[in-house]
Amino acid sequence: MQFRRRRAEEPEINLIPFIDVLLVVLIFLMLSTTFSQLTQIQITLPTANTEKQNTTAETLTLTIQADGRYSLNQQALTATTVADIQAALQSAQAGPQTVLVIAADQNVRHQAVISAMEAARRSGLSRVTFAAQSSVAANSKAADKHSNPK
C-alpha cells in the first residue's frame, strides 16, 4: 500500500497580531511621554519710566494729507519731492536729537510715507516716530458721524 505524501505546509508568520501589539505599544508610548517645551530665547527687555519724559528734544511734525500734500509744523510745503522735503527738514532741524513725528492720513499712498522717511534719513534725522489715533478717539468720531450726518 502506497500512501500519498502530504505536501509539507511551509510555516508562515501571522503578522496581524504582531502589528496589533505594536500599535498598542505605540499608543501607550505616545500617551506616556512628556512633551518637552521648545527652548526659548532669554532676553531682558529695558524698562521704561513714563513719568520722566525727554523734554530737551525738539519735535518736528510732518503731516501728510490724503491727497499727498505735506506740511511741516502746520506750514504747508509747496513741493512734494524728496529733495524739497529734505531741505525743509534740514532748515527746521534743531539738532541731532530732533524727533520727527510723521502724521499720515490713513488713506495716503504708501509712497508718500516712504518719501518722508527717505527725506528724514537724508536729513540725518534718526529719531522718527509715527502718530496714531487711539482706538477710543476713533470710535467716538465714528459714533459722532453716524449720529450727526451732514
CB atoms within 10 A of CB 69: 15
pLDDT tens across 119-149, in order?
888 888 888 888 776 555 445 555 555 555 5
Instruction: Identify whether the C-beta of residue 89 lies closer than 8 Å to the C-beta of residue 60.
Output: yes
Among candidates 93, 85, 134, which has minimal Cα distance to 113? 85
Q: What is the pLDDT of residues 15-39, one digit of tens each?
A: 999 999 999 999 988 888 766 554 4
Residue ranges per structural domain of the chain:
59-147
Average of pLDDT values for 6-22? 86
What pLDDT was estimated at residue 141?
53
Higher pLDDT, 48 or 113: 113
The answer, yes or no, to whether residue 41 has pLDDT greater than 60, is: no
Amino acid code (one letter) for 40: Q
Amino acid residing at 94 = A
Burial of 116 (0-12, 13-18, 19+ CB in 10 A): buried
- Grid coordinates of 93: 532741524
pLDDT at 22: 96
Is the pTM for the entire model greater than 0.95? no
Q: pLDDT value at position 23?
A: 96
CATH architecture of the region 59-147: 2-Layer Sandwich (3.30)
pLDDT per residue as tens digits for the range 69-80: 888 888 888 877
